[in-house]
Structures are given as C-alpha cells and as structure tokens.
Amino acid sequence: MERKQQIRAELKKTRSALTSAQCRSYSNTICEKIWNIIEKEHAEIIYCYYPLGNEVDVLPLAQKALIAGKKVAFPRTDGENMDFFQVMSLSEFQKGAFSIMEPIGEYSISEKTPLVIVPGLGFDKNRNRIGYGKGFYDRYFARFPSCRKIGAAYAAQIIDCIPTDSYDTKLDVIVTEREEIE
C-alpha cells in the first residue's frame, strides 16, 4: 500500500507539471482518438467523468456524444458505491463528494455494455490503472464486468508497472495523445 501511495504522489507531481496549454492540446487529441473508437464500435451508451484539476478533459467528447444522440452518463458516489446518471446537457452538475462535479439527475442507468471512459493518476502498458485509492471504479466494474473500459491518460502518466491487487480491474484500452495501448 505504501508503494501505491508513493506512485500516486509521483504521478500527481508529473501531471501537475503539464501546462494548461499541453493539457488542452493533449485532451483534444485523446478525445478525437476515443471518438474514433466510439464510431468504430458503434457505441451508443457512453459513460464519462467530470475532470478534476488537470485530468484529461473529456467534456468536449461528452458534448459531441450528446449532439450525436448518444446516451451519456456521469458518475455519482453514494457512500462506498458509484453509479452513473444520464445527462441531457453539460449544465446538469453540482459539486459532490471529493469536490468532483456530479450529475444532478435522478435517472441512474446500468446498461450491460456501455463504453466507460476511465480517469486515473497512472497506467501501465499492461492496461493496469491506479486511481486516487478509493476503489470506486474497481467496485463498479466488479458489479458490471461487461463494460468496455477505456482509460484516458496523458503519455506522461504511463509508467513501467502499476502494482495490482486481486480487486483491481484491467482496462480494455488506454488512449493517450501518442498511442492506444491494447
């Protein structure tokens, strides 16, 4: 556990060293690549996240999906659980747990095979992810294992090895501004 805390601290530092112009540019490229996956797979149900700090900004992708008539949802936490709530507009949010913007709607959805865009502090080439340590996404994927899990990350967030535990969920693909790791 101590090793994971050390990795988290290093990755926060690495990510915070990126300029806002870099984050914007990289986020746009990452969103374009994820959109290509959405189109290729004919995904109609997209679960996004509201970026915290300088996480990859997937809000333009969510907006594009809404305009294209796709079902778009964002996570909201309740105690130890996280569920996704459909939004019709990117104005349907309020500050929630951990100061993260959460959807205000009451319509929780639990589709069997959504495409879930997953944030994280770091990732490795084996498609492992390290988040903030609360386990919300891992518990969600344990409940809904058939989700298509796509990590959104800057190339600077890819490290050699993420230590994993039995409850950690491997992603299907990680998309950075430079590559797609499958």
pLDDT tens-digit map of 74-125? 999 988 889 999 999 999 999 987 889 999 988 788 888 899 999 999 999 9
Predicted confidence (pLDDT) per residue in 16-38, tens digit: 999 999 999 999 999 999 999 99
* Contacts (Cβ under 8 Å, ≥6 apart) of 41: 115, 148
Distance CA 127, CA 144 (A): 18
Q: Which CATH code is given to the segment(s) 2-181?
A: 3.40.50.10420
Portion of the chain with pLDDT greater than 70, in percent: 99
pTM for the full predicted model:
0.94
| Residue type (1 letter), 124 | D
Q: Is the pLDDT of residue 1 over 70?
A: no
Selection from 65, 143, 80 nearest residue 110 by Cα: 143
CA distance 180 to 174: 6
